[in-house]
Amino acid sequence: MYNGTFSENKEKTFKTYSMELGGRTLSVDVGRVSAQANGAALMHYGDTTVLCTATASDKPRDGIDFFPLSVEYEEKLYAVGKIPGGFNKREGKASENAILTSRVIDRPMRPLFPKDYRNDVTLNNMVMSVDPECRPEVVAMLGAAIATSISDIPFDGPCATTQLGMIDGEFIVNPNQEQWKNGDLQLTVASTSTKVIMIEAGANEIPEAKMIEAIYKCHEINQTIIEFINKMVAEIGKPKHAYESCAIPEEMFARMKEIVTPEEMEVAVFTDEKQVREENIKKVTEKLEEAFADNEEWLAVLGEAVYQYQKKTVRKMILKDQKRPDGRKMTQIRSLAAEVDIIPRVHGSAMFTRGQTQICNVTTLAPLSEAQKVDGLDENETTKRYMHHYNFPSYSVGETKPSRGPGRREIGHGALAEKALVAVLPSEEEFPYAIRTVSETFESNGSTSMGSTCASCMSLMAAGVPIKRMVAGISCGLVTGETDEDYVLLTDIQGLEDFFGDMDFKVTGTTEGITAIQMDIKIHGLTREIVEGAIQRCHDARLYIMDSCMKPAIAEPRKEVGKYAPKIIQMSIDPEKIGEVVGQRGKTINAIIDQTGVKIDITDDGFVSICGTDQAMMDKAAEMIKIITTEFEEGQIFKGKVISIKEFGAFLEFAPGKEGMVHISKISKERINHVEDVLTLGDIVTVVCLGKDKMGRISFSMKDVAQQ
């Protein structure tokens, strides 16, 4: 027996804050759990529950020149009553949806932390329960912002996020899972109290004006959420802690400008060749290293200081001098090139080049049974029929490092290009294929995801996928000054303008409207004028890319799939006959597959897909299935293979599992004494069905075929 003492159980006190959001109640418990985190919020939206925490290290991480923010979105399968598969029965690596959600949380929040902050920060969002009416992703987005805002971590928030769907032209605020999947719009917008800071969208060719309306409806709703968060911060928010600034000393910048003048730095960065620019900056850095050889403190941060010097130079050239580093005009697109069929034997291929960004895309077609199974927090297991994968090898930027598989950036870029093309894909009924496109980055200098969109579109058309319309994409950049009115928009940003600029605004679409948007910024938000201007720039640019580059390479989808692509025959059978086609333990269907080399898929409602590359064998398989599912009737003509000979006649197989008999008297017009006088095993003969005999058995005749 335990003889010690128990401490008194004091009930924990916590506060709950609630607001109405999208027709449902959003509530936040603060102080109930995770008290040792810098900030924690237990979020409830309907029955969806997400624990969001924000933690920071006490000291900055040594030897880094970036803000070490880590965002995690953890999908616990118990949230939907599932046990994970596999031997371990534990959640494994993050799903693609979890990675994309983490990125959407990261992108609006990262710019709101101090630029000179180097303490490690982790935002963890753990999904503990899922109500299909309340998507956990948007709950995590709000929870991460709340946990950070009420914590003592320096943060120039709050920010808020709203998702918007659209069905039959009507907007739906924070749609449920079904509305999100099946609507014409999947829009996520994050805002501060004054400006939009992040946009992510997938759309079914939404016109620009309608998209802008949707964005600012989200922004309006975000203001009510920010008021709610501000109330919480005022009541329970912790004072922000002091931190050690990692900013570059001003005296160091002053000395650098004496050694390498601003004019010299302009000459170093003003070129359209990335390799030349990098060599120029290498020489500048070596010159500064020699000058600062005796100052270890300055040498330790020289790399970041040179980066900042480049940034100031490029921004000044663009904003004040209206000069881009490669000499282009503000609306000018880099040189374009496109071609198809560059890879032999694959089902479809295309290459798209824009300046020093070059993407090769390869399309592969397969039966629908090859669609990707997606096992996540959706209560029903779903499949993805179209998959776009994006690869970014180190050689594409002239670097060397081992390949470790796709990271979060690669997964995000692939998802964006995939989203861009989903709206124009044919239905499964129109084109019963699973489709995979893979974008291989051959060369990169800005906006490879938009190059992937263009290359993927052409590759699909080359493969004979009957897409509704051509899709193209382009990115618009931004450099801002001291006021909201002082800014310059840049069409088709290259890498340098992305690194040193304030925005990467990617838009894809057709001639009819927008199919996808992804907006990243490094500042505290965009005015409506900038958002509208960027969307218009991207509209004009994508039409130019299609007309001047893509259409000359391939103007429309090919009428048929390629020589090496699988062909598909579709047919319907009586669902009650499925068992006869499959056979006991799959014996019948496997026999058809073995004899023809095709692949056969049958749905529960009797929809049959026969896939193969040999049309004759596909036709043979289709004929076999037709025979198996057809009731023998008088007058029907069949071809059968002799599989057994008896004294009284021969047994024929018309298709696997479908047999019949020809009596000896029906084999020949002349009298025969033995079946073997006319037939041998393996013979293929034509017979006519005579109907049922007196005992109800089906009879066949060889000698009466000519009379039919």
List, for residues 7-19, the tens digit of each pLDDT value: 555 556 789 999 9
Using the predicted structure, report yes or no on whether residue 104 has a pLDDT greater than 90: yes
| pLDDT score at 1 | 45
What whole-number distance in Å separates Cα of residue 472 and Cα of residue 338? 12
Which amino acid, residue 653?
Answer: E
User: Looking at the structure, do residues 277 and 409 belong to the same domain, yes or no?
Assistant: no
User: Looking at the structure, do residues 410 and 272 belong to the same domain, yes or no?
Assistant: no
Picking from 376, 349, 371, 373, the residue whose alpha carbon sits closest to that of residue 360 is 349
Domain end marker among 319, 345, 378:
319
User: Looking at the structure, do residues 228 and 311 belong to the same domain, yes or no?
Assistant: no
DSSP 548: I
Picking from 139, 111, 119, 132, the residue whose alpha carbon sits closest to that of residue 52 is 139
Domain presence at residue 601: yes
Question: Considering the chain, what percentage of its residues have pLDDT values greater than 70?
Answer: 97
Domain presence at residue 683: yes
Domain of 679 in residue numbering reads as: 637-707
| pLDDT score at 706 | 66
Structure tokens at 317: 């050239």
User: Looking at the structure, do residues 592 and 648 belong to the same domain, yes or no?
Assistant: no
User: Looking at the structure, do residues 126 and 69 belong to the same domain, yes or no?
Assistant: yes
Task: For the chain, give the mean pLDDT.
Answer: 92
What whole-number distance in Å separates Cα of residue 481 and Cα of residue 707? 93
User: Looking at the structure, do residues 382 and 515 belong to the same domain, yes or no?
Assistant: yes
Using the predicted structure, report yes or no on whether residue 362 has a pLDDT greater than 90: yes
Q: What kind and span of H or E run contains 541? A: helix 528-545
Q: Residue 572 belongs to a domain with what CATH number?
A: 3.30.1370.10
Beta-strand ranges (E) seen in 262-414 are 336-340, 348-354, 357-367, 372-374, 382-384, 386-391
Which of 138-147, 268-277, 283-292, 563-572 is modeled with the greatest confidence?
138-147
410, 448 contact by CB (below 8 A): no
User: Looking at the structure, do residues 398 and 517 belong to the same domain, yes or no?
Assistant: yes
Which of 75-89, 514-528, 580-594 is modeled with the greatest confidence?
514-528
Give Cβ neighbours of residue 614 (< 8 Å, ≥ 6 apart). Answer: 596, 597, 598
Picking from 521, 90, 555, 620, the residue whose alpha carbon sits closest to that of residue 340 is 555
| pLDDT score at 3 | 53
Domain end marker among 236, 269, 287:
236
Q: What are phi and psi of 254, to 5 degrees?
A: -60, -40
Domain presence at residue 358: yes
Q: What are phi and psi of 436, to 5 degrees?
A: -125, 130
User: Looking at the structure, do residues 405 and 343 belong to the same domain, yes or no?
Assistant: yes
Q: How confident is the model at residue 272 (pLDDT cuts 50, 70, 90)?
A: confident
Range 251-261 average pLDDT? 91
Pairing assessment for the beta strands 39-45 and 24-30 based on DSSP bridges: antiparallel
Using the predicted structure, report yes or no on whether residue 214 has a pLDDT greater than 90: yes
Question: Considering the chain, what percentage of its residues have pLDDT values greater than 90?
Answer: 68
Q: Residue 658 belongs to a domain with what CATH number?
A: 2.40.50.140
Find the range with the poorest average confidence among 226-240, 250-264, 419-433, 550-564: 250-264
User: Looking at the structure, do residues 227 and 314 belong to the same domain, yes or no?
Assistant: no
Q: How confident is the model at residue 380 (pLDDT cuts 50, 70, 90)?
A: low
Using the predicted structure, report yes or no on whether residue 156 has a pLDDT greater than 80: yes
List, for residues 302-352, the tens digit of each pLDDT value: 988 898 899 999 999 999 889 998 889 999 999 999 999 999 999 999 999
DSSP secondary structure letters along 17-43: EEEEETTEEEEEEESSS-TTSSEEEEE
User: Looking at the structure, do residues 383 and 516 belong to the same domain, yes or no?
Assistant: yes
Domain presence at residue 241: no
User: Looking at the structure, do residues 138 and 272 belong to the same domain, yes or no?
Assistant: no
Distances 469 to 128, 418, 434, 474, 510 between C-alpha atoms, Å: 41, 15, 19, 17, 6
User: Looking at the structure, do residues 457 and 515 belong to the same domain, yes or no?
Assistant: yes
What whole-number distance in Å separates Cα of residue 259 and Cα of residue 562? 61
Using the predicted structure, report yes or no on whether residue 613 has a pLDDT greater than 60: yes
Using the predicted structure, report yes or no on whether residue 386 has a pLDDT greater than 90: yes
List, for residues 63-92, the tens digit of each pLDDT value: 888 899 999 999 999 999 988 887 888 988
Domain end marker among 553, 586, 610:
553
Instruction: State the total domains in the chain.
Output: 5
List, for residues 618-652, the tens digit of each pLDDT value: 999 998 998 888 888 888 888 889 999 998 999 99
What whole-number distance in Å separates Cα of residue 210 and Cα of residue 169? 9
Q: Which residue did the predictor score with more confidence, 503 or 373?
A: 503
Q: Residue 482 belongs to a domain with what CATH number?
A: 3.30.230.70
Give me the helix-helix angle, 615-628 and 587-596, nearest 10°.
150
Picking from 323, 535, 358, the residue whose alpha carbon sits closest to that of residue 446 is 358
Domain presence at residue 257: yes
List, for residues 35-46, the tens digit of each pLDDT value: 999 999 999 999
Domain presence at residue 9: no
Domain presence at residue 559: no
Cα 91 to the chain's mean position, in Å? 21
Alpha helices (runs of H) in 177-249, residue ranges in sequence order: 177-182, 208-236
Give Cβ neighbours of residue 33 (< 8 Å, ≥ 6 apart). Answer: 40, 42, 51
| pLDDT score at 402 | 86
Domain presence at residue 152: yes
Using the predicted structure, report yes or no on whether residue 6 has a pLDDT greater than 60: no
